[in-house]
Amino acid sequence: MTTVRYAPSPTGRLHLGNARPALLNWFFARSHSGTYILRMDDTDTARSTREFADGIERDLAWLGIVPDALVRQSERTALYETAKLKLIESGRLYPAYETEDELDRRRKRARAMGKPPIYDRAALRLTAEDRARLEGEGRKPHWRFKLDGKPVHFTDLIKGEQTVNTASMSDPVLVREDGSFLYTLPSVVDDIDLGITHVIRGEDHVSNTGTQIEIFEALGGKVPFFAHHNLLTDAEGQGFSKRLGSLSLSDLREQGYESLAVAEMAALTGTSLPIEPYESLDAIASRLELSMISHGSARFDPAELDSLNARILHAMPYELARPRLEELGLASEPLWLANRQNLNRFSDIQEWSKLISGPVVPIIEPEDREFIDLARDMLPAEPWDEATWILWTNALKERTGRKGKSLFLPLRMALTGRHDGPELKALLPLLGRRVCQDRLS
């Protein structure tokens, strides 16, 4: 049974960059009939808020992601306490008392001596008396995980064989002085407890994976498969920051982008699956494989979002558009089909629909007056359909010798008051004979 999780920290709004793992996990779950868990990594109580957490749920729903379960780390502390004791008992978690300043000085000294600034494990050499004395001075311990110091190997489902050498890393702090947990341990405890089979996350976590595999093993848990994807960057190669606010999903939604366009850009940039209008997230899920994710960069191009958004609208079947058109009071299939080709944003349909409902100020150049009068007189009898336009303009062509632009443009300008717009053959039946007659007059 495949189980994945998307594990955002609710310390900001979702943006394109962190929508990427949300979607990649979703596609994986859908294509493997798996379970998708939304896990709020909210152990950092100073920066996590319920508002941000609720916003994340809303943004995911907008994208089309409906998690099977939601868990909050802030409600699961008892599990982490149990794991902490287990690690202390097995000698893998040890108390350390250095202050930030002390650690900083030691790192500088190490660098000055040409050594890597790795924690020197001085705390491991403290005797029970040393510890009692330090605690007597009012110091409280933070807790470090004792790394094995051996290379950790794993087969990444995207990046292939990986080795993380924990010998070149400091023993990570798992528990802060105030007893709160950092991300590293709760993540592993939850992955074990929730039966996570695949951890799909950004490649900035590869070295964490080295540490976490050691923790999985120390806790006797089953190590899941890992897949580390490339990170989405802006055109300059800079990462998206969730506190930047720009290109947050809620901003993009407000700007009227289709959620599917946003989802595709977030997930498919930097993969070998072409970015084109798919019918749904499921249609992408059935095509995308982890192996299609590039090892190189994933640069987001805002112009591509605009063009994809338009292409999605141009191809959107009426059935899909209908509920939204109903909300605008514009639910009409011929109206949709006549105008969708001109949309950049869905809401543009309101402007285009005014070509039909009016008011429209016809543009008729003095030199075209006679031609337009003739066109009015030659309007075919109703009923009208898509063939009416051809019929009418063929007759006009024969009669006047006009063709191409000099035939079509004056008609367009008189009927719509614009130089561009929807195809007239689709528009004509929507306008009807009376309206056409009025505008041509």
- What residues are paired with 37 via a beta bridge? 5, 69
The least distance separating ligand GLU from the CB of residue 238, rounded to whole angstroms, comes to 18
Assess 13 for contact with ligand GLU (CB under 6 A). Answer: no
92/201 with CB nearer ligand GLU: 201
8/210 with CB nearer ligand GLU: 8
13/205 with CB nearer ligand GLU: 205
Assess 14 for contact with ligand GLU (CB under 6 A). Answer: no
The amino acid occupying position 121 is R
Assess 8 for contact with ligand GLU (CB under 6 A). Answer: yes
Distance CA 392, CA 421 (A): 19
187/248 with CB nearer ligand GLU: 187
Q: Cα 71 vs. chain centroid, distance in angstroms?
A: 20
Distance CA 352, CA 335 (A): 9
Assess 187 for contact with ligand GLU (CB under 6 A). Answer: yes
Q: Rule CB under 6 A: choose which of 28, 119, 145, 183 binds ligand GLU.
A: 183
Assess 59 for contact with ligand GLU (CB under 6 A). Answer: no
Distance CA 46, CA 257 (A): 33
Assess 97 for contact with ligand GLU (CB under 6 A). Answer: no
The least distance separating ligand GLU from the CB of residue 185, rounded to whole angstroms, comes to 12
- What residues are paired with 97 via a beta bridge? none
Query: Which range binds ligand GLU by CB under 6 A, 2-10, 153-161, 275-283, 363-371?
Result: 2-10
242 among annotated binding-site residues: yes
- The two structure tokens encoding residue 62: 């907008």
Asked if 362 and 414 touch (Cβ cutoff 8 Å), the reply is yes
Residues 19-48 close enough to bind ligand GLU by CB under 6 A: 41
Asked if 6 and 22 touch (Cβ cutoff 8 Å), the reply is yes
Q: Which of 381, 382, 348, 368 is nearest to 415 (CA)?
A: 368
Distance CA 132, CA 139 (A): 10
DSSP letter for 78, please: H
What is the total count of residues that contact ligand GLU (CB under 6 A)? 8
The dihedral sign for the CA sequence 281, 283, 284, 288: positive
Assess 7 for contact with ligand GLU (CB under 6 A). Answer: yes
The binding site for ATP consists of: 242
Contact positions toward ligand GLU, by CB under 6 A?
Answer: 7-9, 41, 183, 187, 201, 205
The binding site consists of: 242
